[in-house]
């Protein structure tokens, strides 16, 4: 929002916009060049802000990139919620939900997250930032999937089948990193939705 | 084999041993420090051979590390074949097979492969080496899983369900990169096996 009297954005708004630009730039950077080449300087240049401004928002490189992945996860959740309104009810819903979930693990956002995961496996400082992030992301994805599927996890096998759906989605996302795996993925989604319908209906 | 007359290994045997040591060192290196820090010099030092010797066996860094992942994949297949003899027949077999397959996507070998995948996503030269490797590995893993499960993929849904099992395994492996995910994984394996038994029996 621009302050009508001065023609300038209020400081808080400007700060929020800078932060947002930094997060988006960090995400682009991670997806494009991986963790080791994703320096704070590179992100600052990409976002068009000074290194000092980056440090004002994020004290460390680890904090910057972890915040970026948290940011895109929040955006993904919003996107899923928005698209959920258009999903069919009754037959076909499970397949539509599984497709939507699986597709949310492909693309540049997922590619960036994989770079962060892979780097955290060998970097204790980064890992300390990524672990709580992963826990939050996992919990949110699980709750989301339960809601979308209308699944009752007090029934035997349901909790595990919903978690398996998300692990399958992550595996399919990994397969899609290097090649366009869409055709194979579509067949797997269709079959898994049929199977999952069986598990959910049995309960 | 040592030549009794000279006390030295024949040249071919020595060369094979050096190659094997290089592949193992490359694997350790990838798993420990990731792609960007995995230089040819580091692998040479770890294996205790000269850089010249590395270049004799592998013309490029990409060739060395791709060969290392191909090497551990071969070892994994042998290991699966060896362990398959001890698997139960009849009830319980599907779960034992799924557990064995999923566990083969955890540990240092898988961690090394993830580092290579992640790096290949941003590196066209490496990607050109990794793509044919991934195709071979995927084909072999699929054939292996079909055999172990005694699955007939001419039946509807079977091919996709077996592939989904391997994608699930990869997703679970990714979840295990940063934390010990064993307890959750065990419950998912048990439920997946029950579901898969349903698909295989239906055919």
- How high is the ipTM of this complex? 0.92
The span from the first CA to the last CA of chain B, in angstroms, equals 51
More confident residue, A4 or B170: B170
Q: How many CB pairs under 8 A join A and B?
A: 140
Say if CB B9 and CB B30 are below 8 A apart. Answer: no
Write the secondary structure of chain B as one string of H (helix), E (strand) and C (coil): CCCCCCCCCCHHHHHHHHHHHHHHHHHHHHHHHHHHHCCHHHHHHHHCCCHHHHHHHCCCHHHHHHHHHHHHHHHHHHHHHHHHCCCCCCCCHHHHHHHHHHHCCCHHHHHHHHHHHHHHCCCHHHHHHHHHHHHHHHHHHHHHHHHHHCCCCCCCCHHHHHHHHHHHHHHHHHHCCCCCCHHHHHHHHHHHHHHHHHHHHHC
pLDDT at residue B8, as a whole number: 63
Residues 6 or more apart whose CB falls under 8 angstroms from that of B162 comprise B142, B145, B146, B149, B151, B153
B17 in A contact zone (CB under 8 Å) = no
CA distance B197 to B149: 9
The chain A residue lying nearest B202, using CA atoms, is A195
Residues of B in contact with A130 (CB under 8 A): 178
Structure tokens at A69: 């992945």
Determine, for residues A167 and B166 on separate chains, whether the beta-carbon distance falls below 8 Å. Answer: no
pLDDT at residue A4, as a whole number: 58
B193 in A contact zone (CB under 8 Å) = no
pLDDT at residue A201, as a whole number: 84
Lowest mean pLDDT among A1-5, A23-27, A181-185: A1-5
pLDDT at residue A7, as a whole number: 59
The chain B residue lying nearest A179, using CA atoms, is B131
- The alpha-carbon gap from A81 to the nearest alpha carbon of chain B, in Å, equals 23
pLDDT at residue B202, as a whole number: 57
- The alpha-carbon gap from A200 to the nearest alpha carbon of chain B, in Å, equals 11
CA distance A94 to A197: 7
Residues of A in contact with B187 (CB under 8 A): 159-160
Determine, for residues B195 and A190 on separate chains, whether the beta-carbon distance falls below 8 Å. Answer: no
Residues A30-67: pLDDT tens digits?
999 999 999 999 999 999 999 999 999 999 999 999 99
C-alpha A1: how far from chain center:
28
Q: For residue A58, what is the enclosing H or E element?
A: none
Burial class (CB within 10 angstroms; exposed 0-12, middle 13-18, buried 19+) of B105 = buried
pLDDT at residue B201, as a whole number: 84
Determine, for residues A188 and B160 on separate chains, whether the beta-carbon distance falls below 8 Å. Answer: yes
Q: Kindly state the percentage of chain A with pLDDT values over 70.
A: 95
With a cut of 90, say whether residue B2 has pLDDT above it: no
- The alpha-carbon gap from A91 to the nearest alpha carbon of chain B, in Å, equals 18
With a cut of 90, say whether residue A114 has pLDDT above it: yes
A110 in B contact zone (CB under 8 Å) = no
B141 in A contact zone (CB under 8 Å) = no
B125 in A contact zone (CB under 8 Å) = no
Closest CA to B169 of A140, A114, A192, A164: A164
Q: Is A99 helix (H, G, I), strand (E, B) or coil?
A: helix
Assign B63 a pLDDT band (cuts: 50, 70, 90).
very high
Residues of B in contact with A157 (CB under 8 A): 191, 194-195
The fold adopted by the segment(s) A60-202 is Tetracycline Repressor; domain 2 (1.10.357)
Q: What is the mean pLDDT of chain B?
A: 93
pLDDT at residue B192, as a whole number: 98
Q: What is the mean pLDDT of chain A?
A: 93
A198 in B contact zone (CB under 8 Å) = yes
B160 in A contact zone (CB under 8 Å) = yes
Assign B91 a pLDDT band (cuts: 50, 70, 90).
confident
Query: Could you say which of B32, B171, B190 has the minimum Cβ distance to residue A168?
Result: B171
The span from the first CA to the last CA of chain A, in angstroms, equals 51
Determine, for residues A178 and B120 on separate chains, whether the beta-carbon distance falls below 8 Å. Answer: yes
Structure tokens at B46: 């770890």
């Amino acid at each position: 929002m621009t302050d009508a009297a001065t023609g300038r954005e209020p400081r808080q708004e400007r700060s929020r916009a800078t932060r947002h630009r930094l997060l988006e730039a960090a995400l682009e950077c991670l997806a494009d060049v991986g963790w080791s080449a994703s320096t704070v300087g590179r992100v600052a240049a990409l976002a068009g802000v000074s290194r000092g401004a980056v440090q004002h928002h994020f004290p460390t490189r680890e904090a910057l990139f972890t915040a970026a992945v948290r940011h895109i996860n929040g955006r993904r959740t919003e996107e899923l919620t928005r698209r959920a309104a258009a999903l069919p009810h009754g037959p076909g819903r499970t397949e539509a939900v599984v497709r939507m979930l699986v597709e949310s693990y492909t693309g540049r956002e997922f590619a960036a997250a994989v770079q962060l995961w892979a780097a955290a496996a060998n970097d204790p400082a980064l890992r300390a930032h990524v672990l709580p992030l992963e826990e939050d992301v996992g919990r949110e994805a699980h709750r989301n999937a339960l809601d979308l599927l209308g699944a009752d996890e007090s029934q035997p096998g349901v909790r595990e089948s919903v978690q398996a759906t998300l692990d399958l989605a992550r595996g399919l996302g990994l397969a899609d990193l290097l090649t366009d795996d869409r055709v194979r993925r579509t067949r797997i989604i269709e079959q898994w939705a049929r199977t999952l319908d069986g598990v959910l209906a049995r309960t």
